[in-house]
Amino acid sequence: MKLYLIQHGEAKPESEDPERPLMDRGKSEVSRVSKMAEKMAVHPAKIYHSGKLRAKQTAEILAGPLKRPAEVASGLNPLDDVRLWADRVAKGKEDLMLVGHLPFLEKLASYLLCGNENSRIVLFRYGAIVCLEQKEDQIWGLRWILMPEMTL
């Protein structure tokens, strides 16, 4: 099973727009990453996102080239408990994509990779895809990271 973790694209500051939609740069970077992911045969069964506008917009951009639905899901907000999703993906068999926020994504990746959510061993970047893979022995490993600047 593969788990794709994406920090939403770069968003407008709250002082400019409290809804924090994606900036043009954020849209462009996520679009490039989504097209590269399609070429790399990334095929999650589902794309889940938090209810925040910037995550929704990011998921919708990814959903186009990947030809997968984008759905809102609970437990993906910045300060949510990672164990909900860690338990869920541990029992799953199909590849999933989660579009969310920091520090949640950093903590989830650390929890899955080394059992300590506070290790922060993966450095996330707006619009990048972090691919984790669960092996037969239920151990997670880092497969690859695709950053927007790699798609130029």
| Tens digit of each residue's pLDDT (9 = 90 or more) over 71-129 | 999 999 999 999 999 999 988 889 999 999 999 999 999 999 999 999 999 999 999 99
Residue 98: inside a domain, yes or no?
no
Residue 97: inside a domain, yes or no?
no
Quote the CA–CA distance of 15 and 74 in Å, as a whole number.
26
Residue 34: inside a domain, yes or no?
yes
pLDDT over threshold 80, residue 136: no
Q: What is the pLDDT of residue 137?
A: 77
pLDDT over threshold 90, residue 23: yes
Residue 26: inside a domain, yes or no?
yes
Mean pLDDT for the stretch of residues 19-25: 97
Residue 55: inside a domain, yes or no?
yes
Does residue 36 sit in helix, strand or coil?
Answer: helix
Q: What is the pLDDT of residue 29?
A: 98
Q: What is the pLDDT of residue 54?
A: 98
- Of 69, 23, 43, 42, give the one whose Cα is nearest residue 151: 42
Residue 20: inside a domain, yes or no?
yes
Residue 83: inside a domain, yes or no?
yes
**Structural domains in the chain (count):** 1
Quote the CA–CA distance of 143 and 73 in Å, as a whole number.
24
Domain range enclosing 18: 2-92+103-151
Residue 146: inside a domain, yes or no?
yes
Phi, psi of 133 (to 5 degrees): -130, 135
- The type of residue at 2 is K
CATH number at residue 119: 3.40.50.1240
Mean pLDDT for the stretch of residues 28-50: 97
**Six-digit token pair at 101?**
């926020």
